[in-house]
Amino acid sequence: MDEPRWLVIAGPTASGKSVLALEVAERFGGEIVNADSRQVYRYLDIGTAKPTPAERARVPHHLFDVALPDERFDAARYRDLASAAVRDAAARGRLPVVVGGTGLYLRVLTRGLFAGPAATPALRRRLERLDERVPGTLHRWCRRLDPSIAERIHPNDRVRLVRALEVALITGEPLSRHQLRHGFGERLGRLLYLVVDPGFEELRRRIRRRSCELFERGLLDEVRSLWERGYGPELAALRSIGYLEAGRVLRGERTPAAAVEDLVRSTERFAKRQRTWFRAEPDAVWLRPEADRERLFDGLRRFLDRRPPL
């Protein structure tokens, strides 16, 4: 029996991957499976550029709004839920279209998961306190112990930094070395892995436009509403890009105009790390979202017809 076919559409933030994925799903009878580590959270809509209700009504969407902002949601849980969604869609004759920019989530889904040592609560608390006393300590330490992993993790992503340091300190080896040895050998089926990238200058323009739009669409109100629900700025989800900058405005630390500029710079740095990550994917096919559109659709037809794709 032939393996199920499925598709990944990855890329840096603001590259146009979500729009393309929706068009692909509509054309080829697909269902969207989220691979964005922040869009799994309820109430984080504007700041994560989550698909709108109207967009989600066009085709089935999976793994959006599956956790509360204060829940721990890691790569292992993601892989369990996403692999189930991919298998379920394929079993019903639909094309699973996994879309997002969280490289680690995509890697554990496409190649498996390095489990690593069990969590050590006491060590984690010590690491978290270090970063609370001197912000940035964990990222600087991670750069020394595991520069490859540090390049992929935002300095404010305390959860992933703590885990990377935990693995290195307990095992005596960096997480990146464990991952390389593990090889991520598990497979879900026959995969076509696409990376959408409009080019550096165009991406910068898109990032600036999106940064302005987030504030225009009500990002400040969204963050205020989250705080009123009891989800405070200390949560990892609300220390992420967009929510961090909006929180500073609400606390009177930055003006909205200055926060937009902060957001542009943070997003550009994040997009650079995403592009670096996806360049390491050996089987990825890189596409420009507009110029390569018809080439993409032709390649998908060939892939679904069991012919050589792009």
> Across-strand partners of 193?
8
Residues of the chain with pLDDT under 50: 1, 184-185
Q: Residue 308: what pLDDT?
A: 59
Q: What is the dihedral of CA 214, 102, 302, 203, to 10 degrees?
A: 40
C-alpha 81: how far from chain center: 15
Of 81, 77, 87, whose CA–CA distance to 5 is shortest?
87
Side chain identity at residue 203, one-letter code? L
Strand order in the sheet with 30-34: 61-62, 30-34, 95-99, 5-10, 190-196, 285-287
CA 233 to CA 39: how far, in whole Å? 17
Q: Residue 193: what pLDDT?
A: 95
Q: Residue 309: what pLDDT?
A: 55
Q: Residue 101: what pLDDT?
A: 97
Give all domains of the chain, ordered by start, each with its CATH number.
Answer: 5-113+184-304 (3.40.50.300), 121-181 (1.10.20.140)
Q: Residue 299: what pLDDT?
A: 86
Task: Return the structure tokens found at 177.
Answer: 């070395």
Task: Return the structure tokens found at 225.
Answer: 């509403």
Q: Residue 184: what pLDDT?
A: 47
Q: Residue 291: what pLDDT?
A: 79
Q: Residue 1: what pLDDT?
A: 47
Which residues have C-beta within 8 Å of that of residue 169, sequence separation ≥ 6? 123
